[in-house]
Amino acid sequence: MSFRYLCNPFQIQGTGAVVLSGFLNAAHLASEASGKPLAEHRILFFGAGSAGIGVAKQLLSFFKFQGLSEADATKQIWVRLPSFVLQVSMLFMKS
């Protein structure tokens, strides 16, 4: 028996856009308080569901827009799974 699950990409991208806007506001406040630029902030996700991955991709684009290379941008985003922590680049590896 096989199952198909439908996933609305607009919902994933919409979640990413909303979280990115919240992150930008929080990061601006944190940058002012710490003196660190936005590109030096690190993000940790708890879980790797579709919404989390959509948000991670939006944040990856944000860090690249800030002038980081893709390799450096992926070093800023981490995902915690039940048993371990992954750098986000491991989730987006090309085969």
Give the domain CATH number at 77. 3.40.50.720
pLDDT digits (tens, 9 = 90+) for 32-60: 998 888 778 888 888 777 777 778 888 88
Q: Which structural domain, as residue segments, surrounds residue 83?
A: 10-90
Are 79 and 48 within 8 A, CB to CB?
A: yes
Instruction: Read off the pLDDT band of 2 (50, 70, 90).
Output: low
Q: Say which residue, 67 or 17, is predicted with more confidence.
A: 67
Which is more confident, 75 or 88?
Answer: 75
Total tally of structural domains belonging to the chain: 1
* Pairwise pLDDT comparison (32 vs 8), residue with the higher score: 32
Is 30 domain-assigned? yes
Whether residue 3 lies inside any domain: the answer is: no
Give the separation between CA 10 and CA 80, rounded to whole angstroms.
Answer: 24
Q: What is the structure's pLDDT at 90?
A: 62
